[in-house]
Amino acid sequence: MRGTQFAEMSAFAAIAEQKSFAKAATLLGIGRSTLSQNLRSLEERLGVRLLHRTTRSVSLTEAGARLLARVRPALDELTAATDEATDQRGMPRGLLRLVVQPPVAMFMIAPMLARFMRACPGVQLDVAVIKMPGDIIHDGYDAGIRMGEQVERDMIAMQVMGEARFLVVGSPDYLARHPAPKSPRDLRDHDCIRNRLPNGAIFGWDFAKNGRVVHAAVAGRLIVNDIDLSIRAVLDGLGLAYLLRDYIAADIAAGRLVPVLEDWTPSMSGFFLYHSSRRRTTAPLQAFITFVKDEAKRRGVAPSAPPRAGVRPNYRLVGTARR
């Protein structure tokens, strides 16, 4: 395959998967005009339209869908072959695209980032922090890190952060004015600060005790879509909040926040690094897996598989809004 043909195929695959010329151009690191010209050249050479495009949308034609199914594995193989060739020189090189959820970015990626970059100077790291990641293959990522309950069954996954716990917390001032709830049912009498997910759904307040799972119907005057704002609001005594313990551990230790319903606190599996079982593992990704595995071991995180059953829909919310 000549260089121009590779550029054309790469442009076509990126546009088809990103469903956007702008996003595809950013992904490939080229200008939109160059990207458009590569696609036009490919369509003219093949004599067939591969994409339907309007001012608002991009979609595959039937011919485009067939071509993408054949081209994408070939492009992956070429990328993997290049990575393997450079890896023979003793140092992994190339681009690694990761998508992680906000707690992972704050509590795992940030503390280890400098050490990984120094250990792998040939790796270019592109990290996207997204609350509700979609399909890593479709979105062009090599791997992701998210809650184990959200990892699809066909992914290769390993645990990289320990068990996650959600707590209901309030400020001392708020709890001095309102009796602390003794059971999830009591939350009906409280002003609850709720969080809206990117798909429009309200994040549910789920609890578990002695094998019994309860989804509490809570209400309140404040709904936010930002964790920092939620924490600020609960610190200021505006109500109770349902938050991941990692975010508020320091405030609890300092007495600024008080946990309630601790005997009802649900525990989640923790966060898992995952990647496709249908794609070759590139040298940069393998270097990251090895590094993160050592980090997890150092923190005492035991290897385990993601949970497969008994998970409430609250932790799987994707797509259209739903409660």
> Which residue ranges does the chain devote to CATH 3.40.190.10?
91-163+269-315
To the question of domain 3-86 being in CATH 1.10.10.10, the answer is yes
Q: Are 154 and 279 in contact (CB under 8 A)?
A: no
Q: Can you tell me the mean pLDDT for 106-129?
A: 93
Q: Is the pLDDT of residue 98 over 70?
A: yes
Per-residue buried b or exposed e for 185-217, using 16+ beta carbons within 10 Å of the residue's own CB: eebeebbbbbbebeeebbbbbbbeeeeeeeebe
List Cα–Cα distances, 84 to 93, 109, 119, 141, 153, in angstroms: 9, 25, 18, 19, 28
Superfamily of domain 91-163+269-315: Periplasmic binding protein-like II (3.40.190.10)
- Quote the CA–CA distance of 82 and 73 in Å, as a whole number: 14
Q: Is the pLDDT of residue 252 over 90?
A: yes
3-state DSSP of 193-250? EEEECCCCCECCEEEEECCEEEEECCCCCCEECCHHHHHHHHHCCCCEEEEEHHHHHH
Q: Which of 217-226, 269-278, 292-301 has the highest mean pLDDT?
A: 217-226
Helices 62-87, 283-298: inter-axial angle, 10-degree rounding: 70
Q: Can you tell me the mean pLDDT for 178-204?
A: 93
Residue bearing the bigger pLDDT, 225 or 76: 225
Tell me, which fold does domain 164-268 have in CATH? Answer: D-Maltodextrin-Binding Protein; domain 2 (3.40.190)
Average pLDDT along the chain? 85
> Which residue ranges does the chain devote to CATH 3.40.190.290?
164-268
Residue bearing the bigger pLDDT, 319 or 195: 195
pLDDT confidence of 305, banded at 50, 70, 90?
A: low
Give the model's pLDDT for residue 304. Answer: 67
> Which residue ranges does the chain devote to CATH 1.10.10.10?
3-86
pLDDT confidence of 80, banded at 50, 70, 90?
A: low
Q: Can you tell me the mean pLDDT for 267-277?
A: 86
Closest listed residue to residue 110, CA positions, set 234, 225, 246, 231:
246
Q: Is the pLDDT of residue 317 over 60?
A: no
Q: Is the pLDDT of residue 83 over 50?
A: yes
Q: Which of 87-91, 199-203, 224-228, 280-284 has the highest mean pLDDT?
A: 224-228
pLDDT over 90 percentage in the chain? 41
Q: Is the pLDDT of residue 170 over 90?
A: yes
Q: Are 284 and 120 in contact (CB under 8 A)?
A: yes
Give the model's pLDDT for residue 120. Answer: 92
pLDDT confidence of 200, banded at 50, 70, 90?
A: confident
Q: Are 281 and 289 in contact (CB under 8 A)?
A: yes
> What distance separates the 2 farthest-apart alpha carbons in the chain?
74
Give the model's pLDDT for residue 237. Answer: 97
Give the model's pLDDT for residue 312. Answer: 44
Integer-rounded Cα radius of gyration of the chain: 23
Residue bearing the bigger pLDDT, 315 or 4: 4
pLDDT digits (tens, 9 = 90+) for 16-66: 888 888 888 877 778 888 988 999 998 898 999 999 888 778 889 999 889
Lowest mean pLDDT among 56-60, 234-238, 246-250, 319-323: 319-323
Q: What is the identity of the amino acid at 140?
A: G
